[in-house]
Structure 1
């Protein structure tokens, strides 16, 4: 799984996280908490990664998607379209910070 964020429209903060399981076999809970001094990502309620440097200070957007890997052919291999590319969500929720 990839965790990422953009600061002033610039990425480069990608972090690849090994889930330790096949995410396609069951639903799981993914979350993140964006604070002034950190962004923390969670998988099934457990902290998976925390970013503390060069954090965004402007409003952002939430994205959930299936990515075909364009741009990383060197390690993912090119997407040839012969298999379906799908994502399924059981639920999504946004809770604003107080």
Structure 2
């Protein structure tokens, strides 16, 4: 079995290092990319959406079996959570 090495960089990694890992491996893990304050804010904004979700079904058994009957899927987070927008415009993401 073939294994793939995935780089794990610190949250203060520079953009060239991030891009190099992505170019080489197609993926990178960045430890502590988001601050605890951002995570708390995001969770506070998303939790009411999760609680309000009624776990609707598609009505197509094949899709529901694949997607899961207890899975909560949220769409349009940029319109619903300002913290998500802040993540989208993060300089590290925009520069890579």
Structure number with the higher helix fraction is 2
- Looking at both structures, which has the greater relative contact order when contacts are Cα pairs under 8 Å and sequence separation is at least 6? 2
Q: Please report the TM-score for the alignment, with normalisation by the length of structure 1.
A: 0.25
Q: Please report the TM-score for the alignment, with normalisation by the length of structure 2.
A: 0.26
Bigger Cα Rg: 2
Structure number with the higher strand fraction is 1
